[in-house]
Amino acid sequence: MEKRFVFVVFSLVIGVVQSVNAEVPAIFVLGDSTSDVGTNNYLPQSTIKANFPHHGIDFPFAIPTGRFSNGFNTADYLAKLFGFKKSPPPFFSQNVKFSIKIRKFRGINFSSAGSGLLGSTGQTTPLQKNVVTMGEQLFQFSTVHNDLLAFKGPLETEKLLSKSLFFISIGSNDIMNNYYSSNPIPKEYFIPKLGLVYEKHLRNLISLGARKFGIVSVPALGCCPSQRIYQANGECLEELNNQARAFFSTMELLLGNLRLEYKDIKYSLGNTVDMTLNVIDNALAFNFKYVKTACCGSGTLNAQGSCSPISDLCSNRNEYLFWDSFHPTQTASKLAAFTLYGGEPRFVSPINFSQLPDA
């Protein structure tokens, strides 16, 4: 019954895609490795890349695109649900001005693996370009905004951006880096700090014309295989899960306050802590057999080494929740996208992603 319910939900969601598609002229994606589709490939000095096997083994033609996945990621599946073929391409991958000029512009993905809300997150040294920070992603979007103004004019630009969707998935790396730093900031101070930085970024996007936001909060970080290896019996690291819950609560308050101030913005907030734990607690109902072990890696829970061409690789990838020690498999990413798109208020509120175009 539970498996049939999941199938029916997926079928219903697919059935409404066409009615939504016409109302979404472009999609803009900002964030970290959960939505990166190849940004870091263009950073020669970056140490955070996935443009080599076994990554992409289930992507069309088995191409390692830079996605931290065996195939597509959640950003891809969200875009598909809105009628796109996949996530828009990385900012560095195309001539943005040309695509705007010939009216084939459908959006940009700015996400960069390893990045965070804080400018210091993910950067190895000030001189080494390891990631594109969230602040830099906002600057990149501002250049796209200026190009839109130049080619389309202010009225057309405002119309396009007000109907476009802005997907954001970020914050995990900030929390992890602080937790494992030699002098961590207590949760009671650090999470509100992240909230203030997030608010600044959102206000910048709003000032540039963004109006419809699909926000993916931080997942249950303590249940990643990389964290389970330190716990007795491979259980979740609850302190990290608690920080993820605190971050979600901060985002709920932040977005609610922004909505009161800006009457014309609409948002949908995904509670990926509860989404993740629900799948773990009901794994068989979602056809997952392995929720603790990574598919690609080495050592305990296949999570002591990163995914590489010489890593141990599972053959039944659809049965794994985690691709590597941190990231979901293509199957898990698809499930996450469907939940964000059409899920109940427990998992996504005050509306789900499918309701953003009409809101």
According to the model, what pLDDT value does residue 9 have? 43
Q: Are the C-beta atoms of 244 and 220 separated by less than 8 Å?
A: yes
Tokens found for residue 342: 């059409």
Q: What is the pLDDT of residue 10?
A: 44
The two structure tokens encoding residue 222:
């303590």
pTM of the model: 0.93
Contact at 8 Å (CB) between 221 and 175? yes
Instruction: Look at the block and give the residue holding tokens 């295989």.
Output: 225
Omega cis (within 30) before 54:
yes
What is the model's pLDDT at position 17?
A: 44
Domains of the chain: 27-289+330-358 (3.40.50)
Strands 165-169 and 27-31: parallel
pLDDT tens track for 59-116? 999 999 999 999 999 999 999 999 999 999 999 987 766 777 767 899 999 999 999 9
Catalytic residues: 33, 324, 327
Work out the burial of residue 38: count CB atoms within 10 Å of its CB; fewer than 13 is exposed, 13-18 middle, 19 or more buried.
buried
Name 312's bridge partners: 297
With a cut of 70, list the residues of the chain below it in pLDDT. 1-22, 96-97, 102, 125-127
Quick one: the chain helix, strand, coil %, rounded to 5?
50, 10, 40
Helices (H), 164-184: 172-179
pLDDT at 15: 42
- 260 burial (CB, 10 Å; 0-12 / 13-18 / 19+) is exposed
For residue 70, give the DSSP letter: S
pLDDT of residue 61: 97
DSSP class of 41: G
* Contact between residue 224 and residue 322 where contact means Cβ atoms under 8 Å apart: yes
Task: Report the pLDDT value the prediction gives residue 16, as an integer from 0 to 100.
Answer: 43
Strands (E), 63-186: 107-109, 165-169
Cβ-based neighbour number of residue 156 at 10 Å: 12
- CA geometry: angle 305, 223, 67, nearest 5 deg: 55
pLDDT of res. 189: 98
Predicted confidence at residue 129, as pLDDT, reads: 85
> What is the model's pLDDT at position 103?
72
Per DSSP, 186 falls in state P
Q: Alpha-carbon distance 251 to 259, whole Å?
A: 12
From residue 73, how far is each of 36, 78, 257, 314 by CA, in Å?
8, 9, 30, 18
Other CB atoms within 10 Å distance of the CB of residue 261: 9
Q: Are 215 and 195 in contact (CB under 8 A)?
A: no
Helix, coil or strand: residue 214: strand
